[in-house]
Structure 1
Amino acid sequence: MTAPALQLRDASIGYGDVAIVRGVDLTVDHGEAVAVLGSNGSGKTTLARGVLGLATVLGGDVQVLGAPVGRLRERGRIGYVPQRHTVSGAVPATVREVVGVGRLARLGLFRRLRAADRSAVADAVAAVGLGDRLGDPVASLSGGQQRRVLVARALAAEPELLIMDEPTAGVDAASQEALAAVLARVSAAGTTLVVVTHEAGPLSGVLTRAIAVDHGRISYDGPLAGAAPDGGGHHHPGDPDRLEPPRYRQDQPRVTTDRRR
C-alpha cells in the first residue's frame, strides 16, 4: 500500500455551499489509531462525514484508501459506526440480522450470505462480546449492548478503515471497557481507526494520535497525550460551525438496518 489511508489537501467540507471545515491538510497512514477531538459545533463530525461522502467537499482534495472520496469501488473497505446510541426500527430484527447488513457492503444488495459471510458475522458479534446473543432481538439488549451491535455491523465487512462517531457516548463504563478491548484487537490486526469524540479518555489505551478541530480548522495534530482535555477547541454561540443543517443530525435515530449504509 503506497497511498495513505486518508489524505486531505486544503480541503473545505460542508453542506450546500456553506463550508463548516476549511483549509484542512491531513494525512493518516495505514494502521494508525487516531482520535478526532473537538467540542460540540467544532466541525469534527463534518470532517468525518466529508471523508465518508456524507458531506460535500467544497474545495481541495480528499483521498480515501487511494481513491477520490466517494469513488472507492469496494465499499466494504470502509466501516462506519454512526453517532447514535441504540439500534431501533419498526421491523423487529435479531442481532444476527442487523450485523449481517454490514456484510452487504462486500456482497452487494442482491446477493445472499454465504457460509463465509455467516462466519464473518458470527466472528464480528463474538468480537464485541455478544456471541451468545446472536439470535436475540436487538430490542432486548441494553443501550450499551446495542451500541456494540453497531460496532459489530461495521466489523462484519472486515474493513481496512474504521470510522466511529462518538462510540462511547451515552454508554456505561463496562460497555466502554468492552469497546476499548474490541478496538485494541482491531487495531492490532492492522485496521486504521479514526474515532470522532469529544473525550478520548475511555479509549486512551488504544488511540495514539489526536487531531483537534476548532472552529472548522485543525488546531492540534500530535500525540494523544499532548491534546488539551477539551480537544483543543472552544465553541462560542453564533459560530458558523453551527450552520450544519438538521437533516444531517443523528440524535433522533430510527432504522439502522437500511441496506444503503
Structure 2
Amino acid sequence: MSAIRLRDARIGYGDAAVVQGVDLTVADGEAIAVLGSNGSGKTTLARGLLGLATVLGGEVEVLGAPVGRPRERGRIGYVPQRHTVSGAVPATVREVVGVGRLARLGPFGRLRPADRAAVQDAVAAVGLADRLGDPVASLSGGQQRRVLVARALAAEPELLVMDEPTAGVDAASQDALAAVLADVSATGTTLLVVTHETAALAGVLTRAVVVDHGRISYDGPLAEAGVEATTDGHHHPEGTGLAPSRGYRLDQPRVTTDGGR
C-alpha cells in the first residue's frame, strides 16, 4: 500500500485551484522533501493531504483511503508552519504534547496510563524530558519547535507531515531535529517535509518533489534536485484513532540531546 497517492489532483481553497494536474505516489517508509519557490504551491499540496485544503478534482488518497476520513486522523502526525507554540493561555510541555493523544483516547476521552506514558516518551524523544513540567513560553524558539514535533509523535503516526520545520531555529536545534527524524524514519514512518532548507535534513530525506506554479517539475533523488529548487534564502508562509499497523513507536531507541536551543 502506498502512503500517499495522487492522480490528476487539483487542490486549493474555495473553488480556486493552487495545485493542479499532480500525479504523485509515496511508498510506505519513504522520506521525501517537497521543495519549491515561495508561492509555488508546496504548502497547499501538503495541506491537501491533511484535509486542510480542498481537493477540487482528481484522486487524493492517504494511507489507503480518500483524504479526510475520520479514522485516518489518528494515523497522521502534523507539525505546522509556526515557529512557536506560545499562546495567551499558559500551558506546560506535558499539556501541549498531550494534545497529540486526543485521536487515540478511549471512549471516555480521558488520558489513560498508556497515553501519559506516550506523552513522556515523545518528549524524551526530542530531548526535552527535563522540561516536561515547564511552561512552553519559557522555552527557546528551537525548543518550542521540538515540542510541536513531540506533539505529533505522541500520536504514534504512520505518516508525519512537517511544514518548514527548520525555519527560524538555530543550528543546534536543526541538528537535534535531524537526529529525531532519523530515528523516526528508521522505524518505517513515512516522512513528508515541506522545506526550502535541505542541508540540515539531507541525511534523512532521500527523495525530492519540486513544485513549480502548482505543478510537479521534478521528482527524484534529493541530491539531484538542484540548489535553485531547494532554497531562495528566505522563509515566507504560503498564502478516531486506529492503532497503526506500522510507523513510529514510542518504545523505539531515542536520541539524546543536551536539551539546548
Normalising by the smaller structure, the TM-score range is: 0.7 to 0.9
**What is residue 11 of structure 2 aligned with on the other side?**
13
Q: Deviations over 1:123-154 (max 9, x none)?
A: 10000000110000001100000000000000
Equivalent position to 1:122, from 98, 120, 124: 120
**What is residue 99 of structure 1 aligned with on the other side?**
97
Q: Which runs of 5+ in 2 are unaligned?
A: 233-237, 240-261
**What is residue 29 of structure 1 aligned with on the other side?**
27
Q: Deviations over 1:171-203 (max 9, x none)?
A: 000000000000000000110000000121110
Matched residues in 2 for 1:185 and 1:146: separation?
20
Change (3 A) 1:61 1:133: same
Matched residues in 2 for 1:103 and 1:110: separation?
13
Query: What amino acid maps onto 1:154 in structure 2?
Result: A
Shift of 1:74: 3.8
Matched residues in 1 for 2:107 and 2:217: separation?
41
**What is residue 225 of structure 2 aligned with on the other side?**
227
Q: Deviations over 1:194-219 (max 9, x none)?
A: 00001211100000000000000000
Query: What amino acid maps onto 2:45 in structure 1?
Result: L
Query: What amino acid maps onto 2:110 in structure 1?
Result: R
Shift of 1:68: 0.3
Equivalent position to 1:52, from 50, 53, 59: 50
Shift of 1:231: 2.0
Matched residues in 2 for 1:147 and 1:198: separation?
17
Shift of 1:75: 1.5
Matched residues in 2 for 1:143 and 1:80: separation?
18
TM-score, normalising length: structure 1: 0.87
Query: What amino acid maps onto 2:208 in structure 1?
Result: A
Does residue 152 in structure 1 map to residue 164 in structure 2?
no
Query: What amino acid maps onto 2:60 in structure 1?
Result: V
Shift of 1:89: 1.3
Contact 1:214-1:233 at 8 Å conserved across structures? no
Contact 1:42-1:233 at 8 Å conserved across structures? no
Output the aligned Cα RMSD.
Answer: 1.5
Contact 1:36-1:213 at 8 Å conserved across structures? yes
Equivalent position to 1:174, from 172, 178, 199: 172
Query: What amino acid maps onto 2:206 in structure 1?
Result: T
Q: Which runs of 5+ in 1 are unaligned?
A: 235-241, 245-261
Shift of 1:230: 2.9
Change (3 A) 1:108 1:87: farther
Contact 2:196-2:230 at 8 Å conserved across structures? no
TM-score, normalising length: structure 2: 0.87
Seq. identity, %: 82
Spell out structure 1 runs of 4+ moving beyond 4 A. Answer: none
Look up the SS of the partner of 1:40 in the other structure: coil
Matched residues in 2 for 1:40 and 1:134: separation?
36
Contact 2:196-2:231 at 8 Å conserved across structures? no
Contact 2:136-2:144 at 8 Å conserved across structures? yes
Contact 1:64-1:72 at 8 Å conserved across structures? no
Matched residues in 2 for 1:72 and 1:9: separation?
22
Shift of 1:156: 0.2
Look up the SS of the partner of 1:231 in the other structure: helix
**What is residue 41 of structure 1 aligned with on the other side?**
39
Q: Deviations over 1:148-177 (max 9, x none)?
A: 000000000000000000000000000000
Look up the SS of the partner of 2:133 in the other structure: coil
Contact 1:75-1:106 at 8 Å conserved across structures? no
Shift of 1:39: 1.0
Equivalent position to 1:216, from 214, 219, 223: 214
Contact 1:213-1:233 at 8 Å conserved across structures? no
Query: What amino acid maps onto 1:144 in structure 2?
Result: G
Shift of 1:108: 6.6
